Amino acid sequence: MAGMLDFLRYPLCFLVLFFGANGIWHFFPVPPQPAAAESFRNALLETGYMLPFWKGAELIGALLLLSRRSVPLGLLILAPVLLNIFFFHLFLSPKGIPLAFLMIFLSLLIAWKYRQAYKSIFYHQD
């Protein structure tokens, strides 16, 4: 089971790397989105920093997932990004919900494997 959970890093990493890199270098056309989703994306673009920051966090988190030593840190970086992706699709662009759910599910399974690394976050030691 541990080997399977370790293997799940790769599909998640591929998805996050692909969409993160596409957000920066635009090598794959983004399909048309509902008006509210386009408005949200344009607002992020207009800030001048938010979309590059977000996509940069995706790339850094995915690269950390590739290294066995930094998987817990990669998941911590990706957690708010993946939640934002999920809620973006839940409220603004429902067609992407299955893929967003898959990414959240994979990240939770991987986090379960590395749960000991997060112990100090959730438990207070005197």
Q: How far is CA 11 from CA 85, 89, 105, in A?
A: 16, 20, 12
Query: For residue 28, what are the CA distances in angstroms to 9, 22, 88?
Result: 23, 6, 20
At 122 the pLDDT is 81
Closest listed residue to residue 88, CA positions, set 77, 97, 80, 79: 97
pLDDT given for residue 30 in this prediction? 85
Q: Which of 63, 80, 48 is nearest to 16 (CA)?
A: 63
Whether the predicted pLDDT of 13 surpasses 80: yes
CA angle 39, 40, 43 (to 5 degrees): 85
Q: Which helix (H) or strand (E) segment is 40 a member of?
A: helix 35-47
What is the model's pLDDT at position 126?
64
- Which residue has tokens 């977000």? 54
Crossing angle of helices 71-91/50-66, nearest 10°?
A: 130
pLDDT tens track for 53-86: 999 999 999 999 998 889 999 999 999 999 999 9
Taking only the tens place, the pLDDT of each residue in 24-54 is 898 999 889 999 999 999 999 999 999 899 9
Q: What is the pTM of this model?
A: 0.90
